[in-house]
Amino acid sequence: MRIAVCPGSFDPVTNGHIDIFERASTMFDLIIVAVFHNPNKKPLFSMEERAELLSISTRHITNIRIDAFSGLLNEYVKQQNSNIIVRGLRALSDFEYEFQRALLIKKIDPVIETVFMMTSSEYSFLSSSGIKELAKFGGPIKGLVPSCVETRIRQRMAEM
């Protein structure tokens, strides 16, 4: 069984993320979308909320599992009986960052491979931070995130 791990903070999940999951699901037997805590970011949603929103947003993908973790990615990948990491890329700047991360993981764990998938052009401008900024100022996010995520973001912004 070919298992791939798609790690990320997914705060919030965007339609660009969903596009990568859908396309990766045709290449692997199981896709594990793994929400992780990024200490360099201030999250809008807790890890549990992000996992819940991912579960709702990916119900149509039959070979996907949502999980959450903290710690080293290479160790998590091995715990999942995988050696494949899938990363989505939007721009050259993403590649530079992700390439360095992939090389570091390869150095400490040579059996792990990173597969880069280019985002569909219709989502190349999307980022979670951009969505949060738009929402913070009341901008339109419809069509950029799954509808359940849009609703939850609007609720969270009203609470703030």
Question: Catalytic annotation on 37?
Answer: no
Instruction: In whole angstroms, give the CA distance from residue 25 to residue 99.
Output: 22
Establish whether 17 is a catalytic residue: yes
Annotated binding-site residue? 127: yes
CA atoms within 13 A on the CB side of 52: 8
In the residue annotation, 128 being an active-site residue is answered as: yes
- Eight-state DSSP code of residue 67: E
Is 82 annotated for ligand binding?
Answer: no
3-state secondary structure of 93: helix
Of 82, 128, 132, 152, catalytic: 128
Find the catalytic residue in 23, 78, 90, 106: 90
Instruction: Pick the catalytic residue from 17, 50, 132, 152.
Output: 17
Distance, CA of 10 to CA of 123 (rounded, Å):
15
Question: Which residues are known catalytic residues?
Answer: 17, 41, 90, 128
Q: Please report, in range form, the residues annotated as the binding site for substrate.
A: 9, 41, 73, 87
Q: Please report, in range form, the residues annotated as the binding site for ATP.
A: 9-10, 17, 88-90, 98, 123-129
